[in-house]
Structure 1
Amino acid sequence: MMARASSSILIFIRQNPRTCQNPNTQIRNLTFETKDGDFKPNPIQEPSQKAQNDFIEIAKEVSRITRTKPRWEQTLLSDFPSFNFTDPQFFNELIRNQNNVLLSLRFFHWLCSWNGFSPDPLSLNALFDALVEAKACNAAKSFIDYTGFKPEPASLELYIQCLFEGGLVEEAFDVFDRLRGVGVCPSIATWNSALLGCLKVGRTDLVWKLYKEMVESSVVAKVDVETVGYLIRAFCEDNKVSKGYELLRQVLEDGLDPGNAAFNDLISGFCKERQYSKVSELLHTMIAKNRDLDIFTYQEVINGLCKQRKQLEAFRVFNDLKDRGYAPDRVMYTTMIHGLCKMGWLGDARKLWFEMIQKGFIPNEYTYSALIHGYFKVGNLEEARNLHKEMFNRGYRETTVSYNTMIAGLCLNGRINEAHELFEEMPRKGVFCDVITYNTLIQGFCKEGKIVESTNLLKELLMQGLQPSTSSFSPLIEKLCEVGDIQEAKKLWDDMQSRGLQPIVCTHEHIITGLCNQGYAAEGMDWLLAMLKCKLKPKKETFERLIQCLSQSDKWDDILLVLDVMFRTGYTLREGICHSLVNKLCKENSHFVKTHLGEIVE
């Protein structure tokens, strides 16, 4: 049995309320509703032993017929001319003997097709219970809609859990509300099923609605560590990892064990936030609490470190994993091989490749792609092509991922024409070109100075109905600024922003540099001020290029402003530029030097 949360945990829960939405309800059980709306046990008369035996035998035979005869509805009455199929005792026996609840449902609909037939509460509840037990939540929902009956509260709870497990969250909330509407407080197991169901479909907003309902009801006194685990996961998914950590620490202080899943959720969350000191705290806490770090804990740490470009630390954790006796799986090997290849540690990546194969893990498409990328990164095109060929010889189909890997590798090594040939081959082989495919080629052509080809690819991307990214525009804007076509670069900038895409810092800087190269000092100053307003930090070279351009136009007030911002940012001015500014001032504006000398020296 799950441990109950102590009063201090309940205090934490109550002190962290979230806005909630009322759940809703629908119901099921072996009782019926009276005219007054009360639930009463169904009056059942015990049949004689002989009648009961007859029911059993006929139910077995009818079950066999409904399983084996495609059109049994047309012959069943003639097979049993004197038998009363509408007897609820028989229907219950049929459900017990029929190993397919949907066939029982079909039999029920056959009965309902008779004129004057009215299903009794016992049959309705028995069939409904069987549908829920079989996790046939859609069929159970349709059954309630079709019959209009109201199961009793005890059956409703299992139905709610069935709906949540089946992903029918809104329907489950309807049933939940109806259950609470008749004054029934669901069990903690039902609340937990609801929390988990909401998490599975990514609806943390509904988690917090339930959470508020729990705080406001007596069920909060029954909160167990399973509940706490789901709340921690919801905090992490809402990017409130510190809140989740606070709850975990409270649980641990109260001597409760939330399980490794809660630790893993927090480790993953802190890895995303790059709070590696917190990751270390969690790992040490697990060790101090004698919790074994399982394979999933290591996976979260390694994956998080690799995503944050801390592959060396990830490799250390990976080796520690093996030293502790754990066996990495294919996913972890692939993650680590990819991380090592990005660092250029191809030798170590190859060792892991062969170690993985030796341990019985067959490389998949993603493992192949990771190592192929590694070969391209060190310029070994021949081995990259050989490995690509081996992948398809092993039966892997050509996919967008495999093509993107080859295209990116060829572009990296200046083989843009070969990369473009692969791009043109993709639709002929029925492989989808995604935005990554286009972005990679756009960048590749821009590096080669082929602006027309890059522009055509961007237009094609948009015509295909794909959603462009910032990387679709940035290389072109950079290259256009470099060649002096600043007006076209600004048009692309406007297009990008009109699509809701936010330019990265270097794109701002390319525009400023491009304007300065064309002698547009005042406009360059405006763009710099816009950057600073957005709290973006330009590079030192951008400040210096703008200062040089402003000095050519004798805009000394602007120069002082740029210098002030530059120094406050922590940069220093190159000695050559400083001498140039002083000489120019002394020659052309001695009065300015006299009046502002102290400010300049400071």
Structure 2
Amino acid sequence: MLPGISSQRTHTYHSQSLSRLLKRNHSHFRPGDTKTMSLRSKLSTKLLNISISSLCKAKQISKAESVITDGIRIGVLPDAVTYNILIDAYCRFASIDVAYSVLARMREAGIAPDVVSYNSLISGAVRKSMLFKSLDLFEEMLARGVTPDAWSHNIHMHSLFKLGKPYEANRVFKETVLRGEVHATTYNVMINGLCKNGYVSHALSLFRNLQRHGFVPQVLTYNALINGLCKAKRLKDAQMVLKEFGESGYERNAITYTTVMQCSFRCGFFEQGLEILSEMRNLGFTFDGFAYCTVIAAMIKTGRTREAEEIIDIMVSTGIRPDLVSYNTLISLYCRQGRLEDALKLLDEIEEEGLECDQYTHTIIVDGLCKAGNLDRAWRYLNYMSTLGFGYNLVAFNCMLDGLGKAGHIDDAVKLFEGMEVKDSFTYTILVHNLCRARRFLWASKVLISCLKGGYQVLRATQRAVLVGLHDIGFTNEARKLRSRIRLARLMS
């Protein structure tokens, strides 16, 4: 529990004591009571709220509750602002349930929760990834007659986009436009949400329409759109928006350039990516580990390991302290080159830098050992990972499964598959593919059918390999049954 945050019991005690004090103070103080007026003028509710806000920012919420209690004793009664400060603090540093209970306290004090109260709750639920809870709170706000503002609608749209409901988010956006409550943030939420849900063309169309109606895009707008276009591999459109960004008067930051550079590498336009890198240097951008790792990773994937090493030397010479992403990239490079001992030495260096390896770091090592044919060591390392407290690492097990299959240990691969706690589409695809390599087509057929029944997908090329293999060994009936099962799975997906 964070320092200063009261337990549920303490919170309940505060709630009950405040309720009694409020009733006592409301009954004791009468309009025109000069003593009361004098106290309130000296110690105003505004000063109380400033004190509560300072304590909450310092995560001393239990002390803030005590100050409210003391204030009520001397006649300084909390208002909506007081409780809204508490709601926001509990959302950030405790739980949504505790924050929500403050609404009941407000009603007991005769203060109606307002739009700020609900906005804090909804925003807190989104921060904690409680997206359905945020939608319920929005509906409750409407049901209680609290009118949402632009912030409410923006958070609501953001939640719907994150839940993969772009049509509902678009409906909220249209209603907001009709009411005339749209702000620049609303457009940014809409463009970012459309891009992240795969509707990049709609985002670009909205962007153009807004420009025609006088909307001036912000840095966030450009970055969201460029990022969406890059992820959709629409490099030309991304470069066009990047050019407009530069002509708009805003200063393009390193994130913008790195995004386009990464897209160039992904699309295979290696020279364009390096040109962007050169432009960033000429403009005097300070390179971080992420920008260098983007270049290094692209060079590794294209087999240009010598150039990747040169970039690494440049990164080190500029005094950039490698972060975990940088180390993971270097480990991947060494594993691809077969320099496993150098990769393992980096693990010690990571600890010396005060960093902690993540699951991805260890997975790279397992994959490198498997590709190097050192399966015994990979298996020992996989068992070592289970002692580190990361939980079940499906990707690492998939690497081990593929390594066993490609090394010809198909029976061991099947045994590992059957003992795996969790499986995904990649797991099934790896095993079916390796069973076909070993010409175990009947076995591959059974695994594929089991996969389809479970609602998983296997690559069509792998499915064709099983069908062709069954025909080759004369099992045409099994091939016909498998084809029917594949068609049924496609109809149901």
Band the TM-score falls in, shorter-chain normalisation: 0.7 to 0.9
2:423 pairs with one of 502, 505, 510: 502
Q: Which residue does 2:150 correspond to in 1? A: 225
Amino acid at match of 2:193: G
1:553 Cα deviation after fit? 5.7
Describe the shift of the 1:561–1:360 C-alpha distance in structure 2 as closer, same or farther (beyond 3 A): same
- After superposition, give the CA deviation of every residue in 1:430-471 in whole Å (9 maximum; x if it has no partner): 442222122223223333333233323322222322235332
Q: Distance in 2 between matches of 1:465 and 1:46?
A: 60
What is the TM-score when the length of structure 2 is the normalising length? Answer: 0.80
CA RMSD of aligned residues (A): 3.8
Task: Kindly indicate whether the alpha-carbon contact (under 8 Å) linking 2:262 and 2:294 is maintained by their aligned counterparts in 1.
Answer: yes
What is the distance in 1 between the residues matched to 2:310 and 2:382? 31
Paired residues, number? 468
- Aligned residue number for residue 527 of structure 1: 447
Which of these residues, 310, 331, 335, is aligned with residue 255 of structure 2? 331
Using a 3 Å threshold, how does the CA distance of structure 1 residues 376 and 517 change in structure 2: closer, same or farther?
closer
> Does the 8 Å CA contact 1:225/1:257 hold for their aligned counterparts?
yes
1:350 lines up with 2:292 in the alignment: no
Residue 591 of structure 1 aligns with which residue?
Answer: none
Partner of 1:326, secondary structure, is coil
Specify whether residues 502 and 261 from structure 1 end up closer, same or farther in structure 2 by C-alpha distance, changes over 3 A only.
farther
User: Aligned pair 1:175/2:96, yes or no?
Assistant: no
* 1:562 counterpart residue number: 482
1:263 to 173, 179, 187: 187
Residues 550 and 130 of structure 1: CA distance in aligned 2, closer, same or farther (over 3 Å): closer
Residue number in structure 1 paired with 2:48: 128
Give the corresponding residue for 1:51.
none
Match of 1:296 in 2: 220
Partners of 1:37 and 1:568 in 2: how far apart?
A: 73
1:144 maps onto 2:61 in alignment: no
Residue from 26, 32, 43 that aligns with 2:33: 43
Query: Which shows bigger deviation, 185-194 or 229-238?
Result: 185-194
Deviations 1:100-139 (A, max 9, x none): xxxxxxxxxxxxxxxxxxxxxx58x676334135464655
Query: 2: distance between equivalents of 1:548 and 1:375?
Result: 37
Distance 1:386 1:27, change over 3 A: farther
**Partners in 1 of 2:193 and 2:382 — Cα distance?**
35
Partner of 1:160: 83
In the TM superposition, what whole-angstrom CA distance separates every residue of 1:380-401 from its partner, at most 9, and x where no partner exists? 4344334323333433323321
Choose between structure 1 and 2 for higher RCO, CA contacts under 8 A separated by at least 6 residues.
1
Q: What SS is found at the alignment partner of 1:155?
A: coil
Q: What secondary structure sits across from 1:354 in the alignment?
A: helix
Q: Deviations over 1:336-366 (max 9, x none)?
A: 2233233443432333233334434211121
1:293 Cα deviation from its structure 2 partner: 1.8
For 1:165 and 1:461, the matched residues in 2 are separated by: 39
More deviation, 266-275/200-209: 200-209
- 1:314 counterpart = 2:241: no
**Deviation readout 1:302-345 (Å, 9 max, x if unpaired):** 22344455555434432342244432112222222233233443
**CA distance 1:173–1:398, change in 2 (3 Å):** same
Residue 458 (1) aligns with residue 448 (2): no
Q: 1:457 to 1:41 in 2, by over 3 A?
A: farther
CA separation in 2, counterparts of 1:283 and 1:374? Answer: 30
- Aligned pairs for 1:342-421 (under 5 A) are 342-421=266-345
Q: 1: CA distance between counterparts of 2:176 and 2:71?
A: 40
After the TM superposition, which residues 440-479 of structure 1 pair with which residues of structure 2 at under 5 Å, given as runs?
Answer: 440-479=364-403
**1:128/1:338 Cα in 2 relative to 1: closer, same or farther (>3 Å)?**
same
Query: Could you give the per-residue CA deviations for residues 514-567 of structure 1, whole angstroms, max 9, x where no partner exists?
Result: 445556444332212112223445445434543455456643321322355578
SS at match of 1:484: coil
Tell me if the contact between 1:264 and 1:297 (Cα under 8 Å) persists in the aligned partners.
yes
Measured in 2, the distance between the counterparts of 1:351 and 1:519 equals: 48
Residues 134, 159 of structure 2: 8 Å contact kept? yes
Q: Secondary structure at the match of 1:338?
A: helix
The structure that has the greater radius of gyration is: 1
Q: CA deviation at 1:291?
A: 1.3
- Report which stretch shifted further, 34-43 or 172-181: 34-43
Once residues 31 and 393 of structure 2 are traced to their aligned partners in structure 1, the CA distance between those partners, rounded to angstroms, is: 63
Unaligned runs of 5+ in 2: 1-13
What amino acid is the match of 2:417? W
Assess, with a 3 A threshold, how the Cα gap between structure 1 residues 380 and 509 changes in structure 2: closer, same or farther: closer
| Amino acid across the alignment from 2:408 | G
Q: Which runs of 5+ in 1 are unaligned?
A: 1-23, 48-86, 93-121, 571-602
Specify the SS of the correspondent of 1:398.
Answer: coil
Work out the percentage of aligned pairs sharing the same amino acid: 21
Which position in structure 2 is the counterpart of 1:211? 138
CA contact 1:474–1:503 (8 Å) conserved in 2 = no
Q: What is the aligned counterpart of 2:165 among 225, 240, 247?
A: 240
Q: Is the 8 A contact 1:264 1:296 kept in 2?
A: yes
Q: Per-residue displacement from partner, 1:40-67 (whole Å, max 9, x unpaired)?
A: 45833599xxxxxxxxxxxxxxxxxxxx
**Structure 1 pair 514/203, CA: closer, same or farther in 2 (3 Å)?**
closer
Residue 113 of structure 2 corresponds to 186
2-structure distance, mates of 1:320, 1:349: 19
Contact kept in structure 2, 1:334 and 1:367, CA below 8 Å? yes
> Structure 1 pair 382/532, CA: closer, same or farther in 2 (3 Å)?
closer
Q: 1:189 deviation in Å?
A: 4.0
TM value normalised by structure 1: 0.67
Q: Partners in 2 of 1:196 and 1:541 — Cα distance?
A: 45
Paired with 1:389 and 1:275, the residues of 2 have a C-alpha distance of 40
Tell me the amino acid that sits aligned with residue 511 of structure 1.
Answer: L
* Aligned partners of 2:366 and 2:382 also within 8 Å: yes
Query: Which amino acid counterpart does residue 309 of structure 2 have in structure 1?
Result: R
Q: 2-side partners of 1:268 and 1:133: how far apart? A: 32
Which letter does structure 1 place at the counterpart of 2:252? P
Q: 1:26 to 1:271 in 2, by over 3 A?
A: farther
Measure the CA separation in 1 of the matches of 2:32 and 2:258.
60
Which residue does the alignment assign to 1:492?
Answer: 416
1:523-602 counterparts in 2 under 5 A? 523-547=443-467, 549-551=469-471, 554-564=474-484
Structure 1 residues 149 and 485, CA, compared in 2 at 3 Å: closer, same or farther?
same
Deviation of 1:367 (Å) = 1.4
CA distance in 2, matches of 1:35, 1:423: 64
C-alpha separation in 1, matches of 2:270 and 2:33:
77
